[in-house]
Amino acid sequence: MTPRTISTLRILQQHHVKAFMMQRTMSSVSSSTQAKEDHTHCVDLVRERDMEGYLCGLLMPSSARNSYFAIRAFNVEIASIKDGGAIKKSTQSGSNIASNLRMQWWRDVISDIYTHPSDKKKEEETLVKSSSNSTEYISQSIAASRKQNPIVRSLQSAIHSSNLTKRFLDRMMEAREEDLDVKQMKSMEDLVQYGEDTTSSFLYLSLECAGVRDSNADQCASHIGVAHGLVTSLRSTLYKSSRGELSIPDDLMRKYSVPSRYLLDPPTDRYDIDENNNNATNDYTQIKKEYKESDDSLRKAVQEIAFVSRAHLHEARNKQNMVPKDGRQALLPAVSALHYLEMLEKVNYDVLHPMLNAAPEAQRLNVALLLGRAWLTGVF
């Protein structure tokens, strides 16, 4: 997304929110106590299911944290929809109904939040006139479920207090929805675009939470989002294979002749470890001969993805000094992406290496220290 496009979207959004706020009235649900409870719920959710996002949130400007954790919790929710309706190894195709219903619920939530009060009232009157009692009851029940959801309430507050651009939220949902039935990206270009639509869009919103609307910051966010998206795909290799999915795009699999079976069912005895050789045991560098060809092919494909990710992070680094201070804190997710790429290089791009797939707790301290350093220096 170009800086001009982002700027145009934000200008349109500002006019919409100003008109909305002129007619908006405070409700008892939006009490200070309720808002604090909702914020706590969002923070707890992010801490439990997205530790890196939680750590980044703690380092955001204090004025931006409430809005940040609201959109982060929203991101966690829509990202987990595919997990809830997991694609199983079967011959069946088509969308998972439950997953699509959950995604549609969130699409309706966003649409409802951005709907002008006067337009909302007209829609309700039209619905009452045109619907049966049962349909009206269902609609009212769905509307009630939205109002009772703490993430929805926090998100609504964030959207209006931080003037968040609707298009970025829509792009996140559209990309996630299209991905529900995808077992493998067709091309590297598709994988890059997915990172832009999901992670970059989230970073644009994070910048808005911090009150930063700046073309240099947006360009950095775009590059970091793509890089982080590529890293996320690599990190999820084993998890995806357990679901019958492939993290490497089809065009790269073909380019380097990577057998899909090698990823879908990774051999547990890949390493030819000599117990008398401490280096081999520690480094897991000796691959058994029967797996050598497949392993070499996979490493080449992984290395190409890592190279593209590094290139985007390099572009972001070149521009980071031009980003406003508060904006730099919103771009801290670059740190975890850089850390993973460094570890990946150390194991010679063996994406299945045990060191890369250890329990998250094993790397949490390192990431926390790196985030702290980047926060203090303003440089990632």
What are the residue ranges spanned by the domains of the chain? 1-22+32-84+96-181, 182-380
Q: What's phi and psi for 318, nearest 5 deg? A: -65, -25
Coil, helix or strand for 120? Answer: helix
Q: What is the CATH number of domain 182-380?
A: 1.10.600.10
Write the DSSP assignment of 43-57 as a string of letters. Answer: HHHHHHH-HHHHHHH
The tens-digit pLDDT sequence of the chain (380 residues) is 777 777 777 766 665 555 555 444 444 445 789 999 999 999 999 999 999 999 999 999 999 999 999 999 999 999 999 987 544 444 344 457 889 999 999 999 999 999 876 555 555 555 555 655 554 544 555 666 677 899 999 999 999 999 999 999 999 999 999 999 999 999 999 999 999 999 999 999 999 999 999 999 999 999 999 999 999 999 999 999 999 999 999 999 999 999 999 999 988 888 876 555 555 444 555 788 888 999 999 999 999 999 999 999 999 999 999 999 989 999 999 999 999 999 999 999 999 998 898 766 767 889 999 999 999 999 99
CA 64 to centroid of chain Cα atoms: 19
Residue 26's φ and ψ, nearest 5 degrees, are: -80, 135
Integer Cα distance of 380 and 332 in angstroms: 7
The C-alpha atoms of residue 227 and residue 43 are separated, in whole angstroms, by 25
Instruction: Kindly report the backbone phi and psi dihedral angles of residue 271, in degrees, each rounded to the nearest multiple of 5, phi listed first.
Output: -95, 130
Residue-level pLDDT at 56: 97
pTM of the model: 0.86
Per-residue pLDDT, 137: 47
The span from the CA of 132 to the CA of 349, in Å, is: 60
Looking at residue 31, what is its pLDDT?
Answer: 78
pLDDT of residue 93: 46
What pLDDT shows up at residue 23? 44
Please give the pLDDT value at position 290: 82
Q: What is the pLDDT of residue 143?
A: 62
Burial class (CB in 10 A: 0-12, 13-18, 19+), 222: buried
pLDDT attached to residue 315: 98
* 287 φ, ψ (degrees, to nearest 5): -90, 135
- Number of other residues whose CB lies within 10 A of the CB of residue 104: 12
pLDDT of residue 6: 76
The answer to whether 313 and 337 have CB atoms below 8 angstroms apart is yes
Query: Read out DSSP for 175-237?
Result: HHHHHTT-SS-S-HHHHHHHHIIIIIHHHHHHHHHTT---HHHHHHHHHHHHHHHHHHHHHTH
